[in-house]
Structure 1
Amino acid sequence: MEALSFVSIIEKDKHDTITTSWVYPGFPAEYNQVLINRGQFQGTIDPPLIFSRYAGLWHYTYTFNVGSESLDIMDTSLIRFTTVASVTVGSKHFYPERYFPIVKLLAQMYLDEKGRPLKILQSVLNLASEGTITFRDQEVTPPSFDEEKKSLLKTPLTDVTDMFGVQSILLWHALLTKRSVLVKSDNLGKLLNLIRAFPLFVFHRQDWTMLRPFITAHDTELQDLSFRKRTSADDVEGGAGDDDEDEKSSSSSSSSKKSKGKKGRHSNETRHTGVVCGTCDSAVEALGVWDVIADMETGKVTVREASEDRDDDSEVPLVGPVFEMTPFHKEAAAIVKKSQSQKELVTGLTNLTVKLTERVSEIKEELEGKPITPNNVKELLGAASMATCRFLVDLYKAETSN
C-alpha cells in the first residue's frame, strides 16, 4: 500500500488565469509555482503526461484541454469556464509506469465529476488503504512495485550512446565526477524518454535522484538545484559550507594563496554539482552554469572550459571541468563502441567504474594520511600522467561526497 505524497488539480480559465483549485493533503507554496511552470498551460500540450522532480519528490502530471465552457446559465459545474486542467500526483518513487496510469484515471474522474474532487479524494484514500482505485464501479490495480526496478531500465543507455556517439564518454566522465549536465531538446516527449537513461552511466550508484528531467528558468526551480557560490575558502578547506561561511573566510584564504603564488580556482563562481537536468527552454542554457550541455537536436556534447589553471596541490576538484583523456577514457570508449546491447554496455561501464573506485580507495590508503591531491597521487604512481591523477582525484571526491 502507498500513500501518495500529494494530489493537486490546477486549472486555467477562459481569461488565462491559472489557479490551483484543489490539493490534498497539501504542499509548500513554491511547489505550486513549479507545477504551474511545468504544466504546459501555454501553447501546445505535448506530451500530455510528464514527470520531473522538485524538493525531494517526483511529480507526475497529466495536462489536458477541457473545452467545457458553457453558455447555459443553469450549468453549475465547476469546470464550465475551464479551458485547460492538469492533475498531478507526487511520490518519493521514480516509477512513471505506475504513476501515469494513476494520474490518468484521476484526470478522467475530474472530467466525469465535472471538477468535483470528492471521487478523487476517495480514490487516493483507497489506494493508500487497499492498493486499488475504484473507477466507474471497477477496481483498478496500478502496476506493482515488484516491477519498479524494470522501470529504471525502460530507456536503454544505448539510445544515448547511439545519439551522441564517442562524445558519450564526456557524459560518462561528467556523471562519474558529479558535474552538472544539461540535456536540451525541442521535443519534450523525446527529452523525457532519453534523460531517464543517463543514471545508467553510473549504475553502481543506483541513484535516479540526480535527475531533474524537465525544468524551466524560474528562480524557484533553480534554487532546488543547490546553487551556491564557490570561493577561495573551498580551495583551502576543501569544504562545502554555505555561502556566508565561504564569504567570511574568502579574504584570509585569498591572501594565503597569494603568498604561495598559486592561482585561485573560480573564486565567487556560482555552480551546482551532481545533477542532470532536461529543458526545452533556451533561457536555462543561457544561465551559463552548466559543466556539460548535451544537445539532442544536433547530437553534440559541449564542455564548459575551466577559466583558470588547476591547483594540483588542492584536494578540491576544479570548479570548471577539465575533461582530459586518460587510458580509462579510452577503455570506456572501447566499451561504448563494441557494445551491442543494453546489458553489455551497462555491465562493461559498471565493471570499469568499480575497478576505478577500488583503485582510488587503494591509493587513499597508500598515501598513508597524506591528502589525496593530483600531485600526491602523481608522486605515488610515478609513471601515470597528470591527467590520470586529476581524474582519479575527482572520482574519489565524487564517490565520497554526499
Structure 2
Amino acid sequence: MAGVETQLMLSVGLIEKDVNGDVLWVWCYPSVSAELRDVLLSKCCLTLDSSMLHTFVFGQFSRTWYYITTVEVHEPTALKKVTHFSIVLTAKDFNPEKYAAFSRVLCRMYSKHGSPVRMMEGYIAVLTKGMCQNDENGSFLVKDYDAQKAYLAGSIKDVVSQFGMESIILYTALMLKKRVVVHHPRIEAVLEFTRVLPALTWHRKDWSILHPYVHLNERELESLRLCTGYVAGFVDPEISNRSDLFDVYVNLPDSEITVSQNAKEAMLMGKLHRDVGLLMVQSAEHADRTDSQVIKDISVKTKEILANLTSLAEECENSKITLETLKQRRFPPATESFLFHLAAAEQLLKI
C-alpha cells in the first residue's frame, strides 16, 4: 500500500463542454457533495462567460483543496462531441505542483481513450501504489512532490521587491492572524501572489489560511468568515468595497496596500516594524540570496521576536501575558500594541 501522503486525495471529477456549448459535470469518483460540486463548477473556466482558458487553477473551500486542469480537445481524439474538458481533483493537502502533474496525466488518458474508466484506474493506482504509469504518458510518482517543495514554490523575493518597505504590513497582518484580501483581474496573478504569503510566518507552516480563489457569493463568504485569519484572493473588483471582509487590502495591479479602519490600532507601525521591514528588503535585494534564504532570514527574526515574547510570558502568572505586563516594560506604543496582539495570536495572552 502507498504511504500516508496518497491518502490525502479525496476525489477525481470530470466536467465537459460539448459542441453545443453546454457545460456539464459528467462523472466523479468516488463522490463529492452537491455543495462542493456547485463551487467546483463555478471555479471551472468552462462555465465562465470569458473565452479565456485557465489551464490550471486551485483553491480551498470548507477545508477541502481543489485543483482544476482544463484542456481543449484536439484531433485525433476519442472525444467526438466534446470541445473542452476539465479534470477536478480534491484533496486534503496544499500541493499545486503535485496535482497539476497528476491531472495532466489523467487529461492525456481521457483524451486518448474517451472513457473515465482509464482515469479511475490511474487514480486508484496512485491511491494504492503512490504512482501511475502509462506507456505513452510517462509516469507520475507521489514521492516526487513533498509539502515543503509546495511551500517554497513561489517567490517571496518578488513580493518584497514589488512592495518594498510596505511588505512589513503583510508580515504584521499574517503574524497577527488578520484577514488579508488580494485583488487582481487575472486569476493566475492572484494564485501566484497569494500562495507565497503564508511563508512570511514560516514558524507556523500553515497553508490552511490560504483561500486563493474566492467568489463574492454568500456560500463561499460564509465559509471564509469561519476562519480566524486568512489570505484570500479575488478577481472581482467589487471586493475593494467589502471592508467587512478584510483588515488589509492588496491592490495587486497598482501595488497598493490599504489597512482598514478597524485594524489600524493593531497595525500601528514603529521601530520594531521598521527593523523587520528593512531586513526583509535588504535580504530580498541581495542578488545571491535564494527565496528559501530570504524566508529563513525573516524566520530567524520572527523566532527572536517570539522568544522575547515567550520569556515575558514565563515571568507572568500561568505563563500568560497581560496588558499590564507590557505597560510595565514601557515599550513604545506601536511595539506594545504589536506584542499584545501577537500574544493573542500565539495564545500567550491572559484573557
**In 2: Cα distance, 1:172 partner to 1:145 partner:** 31
Between Structure 1 and Structure 2, how many residues are aligned?
Answer: 334
CA RMSD of aligned residues (A): 2.5
Give secondary structure in 2 for the equivalent of 1:163: helix
Which among 331, 336, 351 is matched to residue 389 of structure 1? 336
**In 1: Cα distance, 2:27 partner to 2:238 partner:** 31
**In 1: Cα distance, 2:51 partner to 2:252 partner:** 20
1:67, distance to aligned residue in structure 2 (A): 7.5
2:181 and 2:234 in contact (8 A); partners too: yes
1:53 and 1:212 in contact (8 A); partners too: yes
- Letter aligned with residue 326 of structure 1: G
**In 1: Cα distance, 2:105 partner to 2:140 partner:** 11
Identity %: 24
Which among 332, 343, 347 is matched to residue 296 of structure 2? 347
1:109, distance to aligned residue in structure 2 (A): 1.9
1:48 and 2:4 correspond: no
1:378 and 1:386 in contact (8 A); partners too: no
Give secondary structure in 2 for the equivalent of 1:47: coil
1:216 and 1:284 in contact (8 A); partners too: no
2:251 and 2:257 in contact (8 A); partners too: yes
Distance 1:13 1:343, change over 3 A: closer
Give secondary structure in 1 for the equivalent of 2:42: helix
1:290 and 2:234 correspond: no
2:67 and 2:96 in contact (8 A); partners too: yes
* Corresponding residue for residue 245 of structure 1: none
1:63 and 2:70 correspond: yes
Give secondary structure in 2 for the equivalent of 1:121: helix
1:32 and 2:31 correspond: no
1:163 and 1:296 in contact (8 A); partners too: no
- Letter aligned with residue 397 of structure 1: A
* Corresponding residue for residue 336 of structure 1: 280
1:275 and 2:230 correspond: yes
**In 1: Cα distance, 2:111 partner to 2:265 partner:** 50
1:9 and 1:88 in contact (8 A); partners too: yes
* Corresponding residue for residue 232 of structure 1: none
Structure of larger gyration radius: 1
Distance 1:368 1:130, change over 3 A: closer
1:132 and 1:139 in contact (8 A); partners too: no
TM-score, normalising length from structure 2? 0.86
**In 2: Cα distance, 1:83 partner to 1:45 partner:** 14
1:399 and 2:343 correspond: no
Give secondary structure in 2 for the equivalent of 1:144: helix
* Corresponding residue for residue 113 of structure 2: 113
**CA-to-partner distance for each residue in 1:348-399, whole Å, 9 max, x for gaps?**
221221122222222233332597443x134321x21232211111101111
Which among 377, 380, 385 is matched to residue 325 of structure 2? 377
1:276, distance to aligned residue in structure 2 (A): 0.4
**In 1: Cα distance, 2:319 partner to 2:140 partner:** 57
**CA-to-partner distance for each residue in 1:249-290, whole Å, 9 max, x for gaps?**
xxxxxxxxxxxxxxxxxxxxxxx5321011211233433221
**CA-to-partner distance for each residue in 1:329-361, whole Å, 9 max, x for gaps?**
011112022112224432222122112222222
Give secondary structure in 2 for the equivalent of 1:5: strand
**In 2: Cα distance, 1:50 partner to 1:119 partner:** 23
* Corresponding residue for residue 323 of structure 1: 267
* Corresponding residue for residue 306 of structure 2: 357
Give secondary structure in 1 for the equivalent of 2:207: coil
Which among 351, 368, 377 is matched to residue 317 of structure 2? 368
Instruction: Note the 1:45-194 alignment, pairs <5 A.
Output: 45-66=52-73, 80-114=80-114, 116-136=115-135, 140-142=139-141, 144-145=143-144, 147-194=146-193
Give secondary structure in 2 for the equivalent of 1:170: helix
Q: Give 1 or 2: higher helix fraction.
A: 2
Distance 1:303 1:124, change over 3 A: same
1:15, distance to aligned residue in structure 2 (A): 5.0
Runs of 4+ with >4 A deviation: 136-139
**CA-to-partner distance for each residue in 1:156-207, whole Å, 9 max, x for gaps?**
2111001111110000000000001111112222222222211111011111
**In 1: Cα distance, 2:136 partner to 2:258 partner:** 53
1:5 and 2:41 correspond: no
**In 2: Cα distance, 1:354 partner to 1:371 partner:** 18
Give secondary structure in 2 for the equivalent of 1:141: strand
Which among 13, 19, 23 is matched to residue 18 of structure 1? 23
**In 1: Cα distance, 2:160 partner to 2:80 partner:** 48
- Letter aligned with residue 305 of structure 1: Q
**In 2: Cα distance, 1:65 partner to 1:135 partner:** 21
1:148, distance to aligned residue in structure 2 (A): 3.5
**In 2: Cα distance, 1:286 partner to 1:23 partner:** 37
1:292 and 1:304 in contact (8 A); partners too: yes
**In 1: Cα distance, 2:128 partner to 2:308 partner:** 48
Which stretch of the first structure deviates more once superposed, 296-305 or 190-199? 190-199
* Corresponding residue for residue 253 of structure 1: none
* Corresponding residue for residue 221 of structure 2: 222
